[in-house]
Amino acid sequence: MLLSETTTTGFFQLVPWIVFFPAIGLLINTFMPLVMKALKREWGEPAVAITGVTASGLALVVSVLQFISLRAAHGHEQVVGVADWLNIGSFNIPWEFRVDTLSVTMMLVVSGVGTLIHLYSVGYMHYDVRYKGDPKSYARFFVYLNLFIAMMMILVSGNSYLMLFVGWEGVGLCSFLLIGFWYTKNPDATDGTKNSYAAKKAFIANRVGDFGFLMAMFITFWHFGTLSFSEIFPEVAHYSGPDGLIWWIAGFMLLGVTGKSAQIPLYVWLPDAMAGPTPVSALIHAATMVTAGVYLVARSAPVFNAVEGVHVLVALVGAATALFAATIAVGQYDIKKVLAYSTVSQLGFMVAAVGMGAYVAGMFHLVTHAFFKALLFLASGSVILAVERGHHPLEETGDAKHTGHDSHHDDHDAHHEVFDPQDMRNMGGLRKRIPWTFWTYMAGTLALAGIFPFAGFWSKDEILLDASHFEGTALVYIFLVIAAIFTAFYMGRQVWMVFFGEPRHHAAEEAKESPWTVLVPLVVLAVLSVLGGFMNWPFKEGLEPHAFGHWLDYTFAVSTGHEGHFPEFDFGVAIQSTILAVAAIIGSWLLYGRKPLKAGQTDPLAKALGPIFKGMNAKWWVDELYQAVILTPYEKLAKFLSQTIDWNFWHDWFHEKGIRDNFQRLARFLADPVDLGFIDRISHWLAQGAQGSGGWLSKLQTGYVRNYALAVFTGVVAILGYLILLR
């Protein structure tokens, strides 16, 4: 150790800066353009980029310092308070940061991957804003990214459920903002890819999950009197309250998890979320935010451990999602959609793992997945960028011209052929044109497919291993294994379709390799995808065994009260899964690699599977189902309530007709009974009865004085009658 104990512990006090640095970054990028504009200067792209990347990078530095300190402190958790927050009677939640191995792991992932993606975005967004015709949005993007980092940091470092929830909803907001980043795009899309619609969908689906989270918090608070991790977890183990209470807590948390980590039934938002710019997909919708659910379960390990039955439920949700999403991924043509469903599927793996109580395995997969899925998304972004640049080359120099280009671009979108740079059917043969991207993509693919010795192999293997031991139900293992096969297959399919064969479109033909800012992160992530698996070396020999597991166990052991046991590497499971993966890749080669797709050719799998493929392609019509079962009824209900009940009935009928009109009618009657014909009718009837002839009725005269006198007289008779006769 280079640093002395006292200095390193001092680093803990820096932990709030993991939030403050990105926050400062976003403030600078928000206000400097305005300030500079006032000064008649410009806050150009370099300034924006430097600010954004530095903010994120500093957060990474602080995270690393936390890591160092924590190592020095032998993994003992630290709680760093900043300020009071909510303080109501017995309810007291301060702004408090928690530094333990779990949170530091997440911090490193978030800030590490985050910084890389910031870097990537510097180059990527430079082109993207121009292709979308809105160069001014460059700063906005970095503001959002910084905001996301800040929120994610709050999420992973908070010392209470409430603070976690702040980050939880905060990242949801960022997700909303970033999905809707190109809010004017795809206005006419009906399949949910309408950008603003996708953004809303993400937020609302997340809110449903948040509702569960809230419920969980309420129960927790009213039974433990606090929401602070440090106070709840010791209590949970020897909790002796009403039966099922903890079950409810865990169950509601699971609802939150399904929202944030895109599990059945709330996963539908994540694929649509790919409408956001690619770095966003990589950072938020693959590497970090969506893993928050996994983090939540891992964080709440004591709660989940404290109750029977929840494990099975969580694991089954995870496993089912893993399988279900994997099948859908097979049927997609959009390069990012494939990765999106892959992400859902992989999140299913993680959720299944943490659900089974294999927290280390889940977290391990979370980390490696962050590497390789971020890599895949970024690389796919690089592919898209390359294709897009091939489609209509940009003048690299003159920014001024782009305004002119804008309208052209818009027109182009609107009137000419609809070119989708993300459609794999428009690609092919890109291997030679963008080699850097190709090789890094391959690293990611193999890692995801779980091929030895890539990172994915180790982490997925550990999950499968735990699943094979899982006592709850065998379904989990079966689902996960099948999902793994599908994973290998669809990744193989993707690689063959994108990189091999011949270009199926002139854009693919003229694709250009991306600039270095885009490529550097790819390379770094590729390296991590290759080597990342070694950090939890499962053998006693060689590297430090179960280093990652022991590291996390500082946290889990404290919180769950027992040391983690780390299963020995099982060659049976490993070999079995590897063979299956390889077989799946070969299968995909047979279908897509051997005879590459030609332009306009239908997918060979579609022919083979027929309706099943159609189902996969149509995402099993889940969106349509939700539309029919939830959204349409909701709208109908809203319409019914607002138009029929509230307005037509309550406002117009009840208040206007029922009360006001009748009231006025009565008033008119009282003021002028004769005019209304009421008394006329009676008089007519009386006249008929009394006189028998109505000839003289025509001579109409009114004698009000007598009427008035009669009224007085009636009063007299009535009052006297009452007093004398009735009383």
Partner 1 sequence: MDFILQPLNLVTFFPLVGVLILLFLKKEQKNAARWIAMVVSLATFGISLWVLAQFNAADPNLQMEVKAIWFSFGEWDIMYALGIDGMSILLVLLTTFLTPISILSTWTAVEDRVRDFMLFFLLLEIGMVGVFLAQDLFLFYVFWEFTLVPMYFLIGIWGGDQRMYAAIKFFLYTMAGSILMLLAILWLGNTQGTFYVPDLVAMGGIPDSIQTWLFFAFAAAFAIKVPMWPLHSWLPDAHVQAPTAGSVILAGVLLKMGTYGFLRFNIPLFPQAAKEWAWLMALLAVIGILYGALVSYWQKDVKKLVAYSSVSHLGFVMLGLFALNSTGIQGGILQMVNHGISTGALFLIIGMIYERRHTREFDEFGGLWKVMPVYAVLTLIVALSSMGLPGLNGFVGEFTILLGAWGAGQTPVLGSVLYAGFAAAGVILAAVYILYMFGKMFLGPLTNPKNETLKDLNLREIVTLVPLLVLIFWIGLYPKPFFDLMAPAVENLVAILGL
Partner 2 sequence: MSGYSLTDLVNTLPITFLLLWALVLVLVEAFAKRSSLTMVLAAVGLMAAIVLSVMQFGVESSAFKGMLTIDGYAIFIYVLVLGSGLLSILLSYDYNRRMGWARGEYYILMLFSIAGAMLMASAANLIVVFLALELLSIPLYILAAFVPNNAASEEAGLKYFLLGAFAGGFVLYGIALIYGATGATDLTEVVAAIPTTQSPVFILAGAALLLIGLGFKVAVVPFHMWTPDVYEGAPTPVTAYMAVVAKAGGFAALLRVFISAFPSVAADLVPVLSALVILTLVVGNLAALAQKNIKRMFAYSSISHAGFIMMAFVTYGQPGLYADAVTSVLFYLLAFAVTSFGSWAVVIALEQAEGKGLNFEDYAGLGRKYPVLSAAMLVFLLSFAGVPPTLGFGGKFFLFRTVLEGGYTGLAIVGVLASLVSAYYYLRVVIFMYFHDGEPQVRSEPALNLVTALTAVGTIFLFLFSGQLLAWASQAVLALL
Partner 3 sequence: MVPIDYYVALSAVLFTIGALGVLTRRNAIIIFMSIELMLNAGNLLFVAFARMYEALSGQIFVFFVMTVAAAEVAVGLALIVAVFRTKNTINIDEASTLKG
How far is residue 584's CA from residue 490's CA, in Å, rounded to a whole number? 8
Q: Does residue 694 belong to the site contacting partner 2 (CB under 8 A)?
A: no
Q: Does residue 668 belong to the site contacting partner 2 (CB under 8 A)?
A: yes
Among 432, 598, 665, 706, binds partner 3 (CB under 8 A): 706
Q: Does residue 707 belong to the site contacting partner 2 (CB under 8 A)?
A: yes
Stretch that binds partner 2, among 127-135, 204-212, 413-421, 713-721 (CB under 8 A): 713-721
User: Cβ 659 to partner 2, closest distance in Å?
Assistant: 11
* Terminal alpha carbon distance of the chain: 107
Q: From the list partner 2, partner 3, partner 1, none, which binds 702 (C-beta under 5 to 8 Å, kind-based)?
A: partner 3
Amino acid code (one letter) for 336: K
How far is residue 37's CA from residue 31's CA, in Å, rounded to a whole number? 10
- The 296-325 site mask, x for binding partner 1 (CB under 8 A), equals ------------------------------
Q: Does residue 199 belong to the site contacting partner 1 (CB under 8 A)?
A: yes
User: Cβ 224 to partner 1, closest distance in Å?
Assistant: 13
- The 102-141 site mask, x for binding partner 1 (CB under 8 A), equals --------------------------------x-------
Quick check: 314 and 349 in contact, CB under 8 A?
no
Q: Does residue 725 belong to the site contacting partner 2 (CB under 8 A)?
A: no
SS3 135: coil
Helix (H) or strand (E) holding 587: helix 571-588
User: Cβ 112 to partner 1, closest distance in Å?
Assistant: 24
Q: For residue 376, which of 428, 352, 341, 349 has the smallest C-alpha distance?
A: 341
Q: From the list partner 3, partner 2, partner 1, none, which binds 722 (C-beta under 5 to 8 Å, kind-based)?
A: partner 2
Q: Does residue 674 belong to the site contacting partner 2 (CB under 8 A)?
A: no
Quick check: 133 and 199 in contact, CB under 8 A?
no
Q: Does residue 633 belong to the site contacting partner 1 (CB under 8 A)?
A: no
SS3 452: coil
Q: How many CA atoms are closer than 13 Å to the CA of 390, on its beta-carbon side? A: 27
User: Cβ 693 to partner 3, closest distance in Å?
Assistant: 20
Among 86, 628, 709, 719, binds partner 1 (CB under 8 A): 86
- The 431-470 site mask, x for binding partner 3 (CB under 8 A), equals ----------------------------------------
Burial classification of residue 450, based on how many CB atoms lie within 10 Å of its CB (0-12 exposed, 13-18 middle, 19 or more buried) = buried
Q: Whose structure tokens read 């940009």?
A: 394
Among 611, 696, 703, 726, binds partner 3 (CB under 8 A): 703
Among 641, 666, 682, 697, binds partner 2 (CB under 8 A): 666
Nearer to partner 3, 91 or 713 (CB): 713
Nearer to partner 1, 207 or 431 (CB): 207
Among 4, 601, 664, 691, binds partner 2 (CB under 8 A): 664
Burial classification of residue 635, based on how many CB atoms lie within 10 Å of its CB (0-12 exposed, 13-18 middle, 19 or more buried) = exposed
Among 418, 690, 700, 723, binds partner 2 (CB under 8 A): 723
Stretch that binds partner 2, among 141-149, 376-384, 388-396, 703-711 (CB under 8 A): 703-711
Amino acid code (one letter) for 133: G
How far is residue 112's CA from residue 368's CA, in Å, rounded to a whole number? 12
DSSP 567: P
Among 47, 208, 618, 687, binds partner 1 (CB under 8 A): 208
Q: Does residue 704 belong to the site contacting partner 3 (CB under 8 A)?
A: yes
Q: How many C-beta atoms lie closer than 10 Å to residue 581's C-beta? A: 26
Q: Does residue 718 belong to the site contacting partner 3 (CB under 8 A)?
A: no
Phi-psi region of 286 (alpha: psi -120 to 50; beta: other; left: phi over 0): alpha
Q: Does residue 75 belong to the site contacting partner 1 (CB under 8 A)?
A: no
Q: Does residue 655 belong to the site contacting partner 1 (CB under 8 A)?
A: yes
Q: For residue 484, which of 505, 453, 469, 462 has the smallest C-alpha distance?
A: 462
Dihedral pair phi/psi, residue 78, rounded to 5°? -130, 140
User: Cβ 714 to partner 2, closest distance in Å?
Assistant: 6
User: Cβ 674 to partner 3, closest distance in Å?
Assistant: 8
List C-alpha distances in Å: 680 to 43, 675, 683, 693, 695.
Answer: 86, 8, 5, 16, 15
Among 710, 718, 719, 720, binds partner 3 (CB under 8 A): 710
Nearer to partner 2, 571 or 704 (CB): 704
Residues in the chain: 727
Q: Does residue 221 belong to the site contacting partner 1 (CB under 8 A)?
A: yes
User: Cβ 665 to partner 2, closest distance in Å?
Assistant: 9
Q: Does residue 184 belong to the site contacting partner 1 (CB under 8 A)?
A: yes
List C-alpha distances in Å: 726 to 356, 557, 578, 712.
Answer: 86, 91, 105, 20
Q: Tokens standing for 131?
A: 């292709």
Among 170, 276, 492, 501, binds partner 1 (CB under 8 A): 170
- Angle (deg, nearest 10), helices 161-179 and 245-260: 20
Q: Does residue 698 belong to the site contacting partner 3 (CB under 8 A)?
A: no
Q: How many helices (H) and strands (E) does the chain have?
A: 31, 2
Dihedral pair phi/psi, residue 423, rounded to 5°? -80, 125
Q: How many residues bind partner 2 (CB under 8 A)?
A: 24
Nearer to partner 1, 478 or 641 (CB): 641
SS3 334: strand
How far is residue 362's CA from residue 346's CA, in Å, rounded to a whole number? 10
Q: From the list partner 1, partner 3, partner 2, none, which binds 639 (C-beta under 5 to 8 Å, kind-based)?
A: partner 1
Q: For residue 102, which of 174, 169, 159, 168 has the smallest C-alpha distance?
A: 159
- Report the 3 state secondary structure along 190-243: CCCCCHHHHHHHHHHHHHHHHHHHHHHHHHHHHHHCCCEHHHHHHHHHCCCCCC
Quick check: 330 and 371 in contact, CB under 8 A?
no
Q: Which residues bind partner 3 (CB under 8 A)?
A: 671-672, 674-675, 701-706, 709-710, 713
Q: Which residues bind partner 1 (CB under 8 A)?
A: 83-89, 91, 134, 162, 165-166, 168-170, 173, 176, 180, 183-184, 187, 194-197, 199-200, 203-204, 207-208, 210-211, 214-215, 217-219, 221-222, 634-635, 637-639, 641-643, 646, 650-651, 654-655
Q: Which residues bind partner 2 (CB under 8 A)?
A: 663-664, 666-668, 670-672, 704-705, 707-709, 711-712, 714-716, 719-720, 722-724, 727
